[in-house]
Amino acid sequence: MKNDSIITFIGGGNMASSLIGGLLDTGMASKQIRVADVHSQPLATRFPVQCYTDNLAAITDANIVVLAVKPQVIPEVAKSIAIAMPSPLPLFISIAAGIRLIDLSRWLGDQVPIVRVMPNTPALVRSGASALFAGQYVSSKQRELAENILRAVGLTLWLEDETQMDAVTALSGSGPAYFFLIMEVLERAGVKLGLPQECARLLTLQTAVGAAKMALESQEDAATLRARVTSKGGTTEQAINCLQAGGLQSLFDQALAAAQQRAINLANQFGEQ
């Protein structure tokens, strides 16, 4: 992104804060970032960016507009922008779960360039994962622009089919919450075995970081790395047997299917407005 380009976030909540924190960490100038939210104060105190309570004022001169409000609010926000669409048209990036390009185009206007992105909150520490899908009016330069922004805060992947976005939402969009839950559960289990809280917390976190780093850097798959920890007749085997007997795979299959279905339902419910 050029250093005089402006990126405006509509909605300054959890996901926008993570993206903004990550982008500022890359060295992007705070004057390039604007945020419009019904509540301007929390973000203004956290980041030195320009905050607005008027969405339309915030998108004047913007090169990129990130729609970062809840899916339920997207129709109203998009329609209100459409009646005062800036010229030249900015590139729109929607991060809303479920909401489809066809509906975004209907609300924002035909021929408006829109990229759908499903990011995740580790963008804050530039370790995010984002899947992208471009609408038909997005130029190759705009694709590059969207990718560059998201790549600055983590991994980016282009999807071949928009319907895959709901599976991505279930896997990596919501995914940090699953890992945080596993951290909570492990820490608590360690405390129940007699470890001091802080000791259980630190061992849990470092083990999570270590396992993820090792899996990322290794040529081998997770099952092979797991087998190396699992000595025959040893301790890990007992724990893994317990987890598998408890139906861990089936539980995650159900969890991800439920999240995916929720994204589909949100699109069906709010896409008709």
Ligand X SMILES: NC(=O)C1=CN([C@@H]2O[C@H](COP(=O)(O)OP(=O)(O)OC[C@H]3O[C@@H](n4cnc5c(N)ncnc54)[C@H](OP(=O)(O)O)[C@@H]3O)[C@@H](O)[C@H]2O)C=CC1
Identify the CA nearest to 263 among candidates 122, 181, 165.
Answer: 165
Sequence-ordered list of residues with C-beta below 8 angstroms from that of 204, at least 6 positions apart, any chain: 183, 186, 187, 190
* Residue placing its CB nearer to ligand A1CAB in the complex, 184 or 237: 184
Kind plus residue range of the DSSP H or E element containing 142:
helix 140-151
What string marks each residue from 68 to 87 as x (binds ligand X by CB under 6 A) or -? Answer: xxxx-x---x----------
What string marks each residue from 96 to 115 as x (binds ligand X by CB under 6 A) or -? Answer: xx------------------
CB 48 within 8 A of CB 34: no
Which residue from 8, 121, 204, 260 is in contact with ligand X, where contact means CB under 6 A? 121
95 binds ligand X (CB under 6 A): yes
- 26: phi then psi, degrees, rounded to nearest 5: -75, -10
174 binds ligand A1CAB (CB under 6 A): yes
* Residue placing its CB nearer to ligand X in the complex, 38 or 222: 38
Which residue from 11, 22, 113, 135 is in contact with ligand X, where contact means CB under 6 A? 11
55 binds ligand X (CB under 6 A): yes
Which residues, numbered 221-240, are part of the site for ligand X (CB under 6 A)? none
- 135: phi then psi, degrees, rounded to nearest 5: -75, 170
What string marks each residue from 180 to 219 as x (binds ligand X by CB under 6 A) or -? Answer: ----------------------------------------
Q: Please tell me whether 154 is known to bind a ligand.
A: no
Cα-based angle 181, 182, 185 (whole degrees, multiple of 5): 85
Q: Which residues of 200-232 are buried (b: 16+ CB within 10 A; e: fewer)?
A: bbeebeeeeeeeeeeeeeeeeeeeeeeeeeeee
Among ligand X, ligand A1CAB, none, residue 188 binds (CB under 5-8 Å by kind)? none
**CA 176 to the chain's CA centroid:** 9
Among ligand A1CAB, ligand X, none, residue 122 binds (CB under 5-8 Å by kind)? none
CB 9 within 8 A of CB 96: no
Nearest residue (beta carbon) to ligand X: 13
d(CA 10, CA 101): 17
Q: Please tell me whether 70 is known to bind a ligand.
A: yes
CB 10 within 8 A of CB 55: yes
Q: Which residues bind ligand X (CB under 6 A)?
A: 10-16, 36-39, 55, 68-71, 73, 77, 95-97, 118-121, 173
Annotated binding site for NADP(+): 10-15, 68-71
Q: Which residues bind ligand A1CAB (CB under 6 A)?
A: 97, 169, 173-174
Annotated binding site for NADPH: 55
Annotated binding site: 10-15, 55, 68-71
